[in-house]
Amino acid sequence: MGYEFTIMTADIDEKGIRREKPEDLVMALAEAKADAIVQRLPTGGGLEEDDSTTLLITADTVVVYRGIIREKPTSEKEAREFIKGYSGSHAAVVGSVVVTNLATGKRCGGWDSAEVYFLEIPDEVIDNLIDEGITFNVAGGLMLEHPLTLPFVDAVVGSTDTVMGLSKALTEKLFLEAQ
């Protein structure tokens, strides 16, 4: 997207924030992340002392499978159940973006969703994904762009960026709104 950025972690208790609807959950989590980071910034909210506008971007993503919200799997058993469930089936990915203008305090947010359809995923691929450990770091244990996963993606309906965790179109729109 061509922007200079600094990565900061929010260090919030994501499990302590619950909502019934996936759209509400990802928005609440992105807002909480923004609040946590803003509180840690120096007074005035900026990271650098210059004339440019500093925008804080926070985001969150969940997977919805058969109406159930899935976050990061917490065990090998859960990761296996998640990925095995997607095999020959489909899941929705819901992702939020919140942009906060640190100079003005203006905050804009929104969410996007996409559907991912999978071919049958062999057990050995599932084993390899779990052995690598990557499934424990991503919503629903689902990393679309992973070389082991990609061959078994039949179709994506919606933005691939949304599935990967940050909708570029939504982020650009919110950048303009937050200015």
Per-residue confidence at 5, pLDDT binned at 50, 70, 90?
A: confident
Residues 6+ apart with CB under 8 A from 27: 60, 96, 98, 109, 111
The CATH number linked to 156 is: 3.90.950.10
For residue 115, being part of any structural domain is answered with yes
For residue 126, being part of any structural domain is answered with yes
Catalytic residue annotation: 60
For residue 167, being part of any structural domain is answered with yes
Q: What is the pLDDT of residues 86-133, one digit of tens each?
A: 999 999 999 999 999 999 999 999 999 999 999 999 999 999 999 999
For residue 3, being part of any structural domain is answered with no
Number of domains comprising the chain: 1
For residue 32, being part of any structural domain is answered with yes
For residue 7, being part of any structural domain is answered with no
pTM: 0.90
Whether 138 shows a pLDDT value over 80: the answer reads: yes
Give mean pLDDT, residues 140-146: 92
Give mean pLDDT, residues 1-8: 84
160: containing domain = 14-178
For residue 5, being part of any structural domain is answered with no
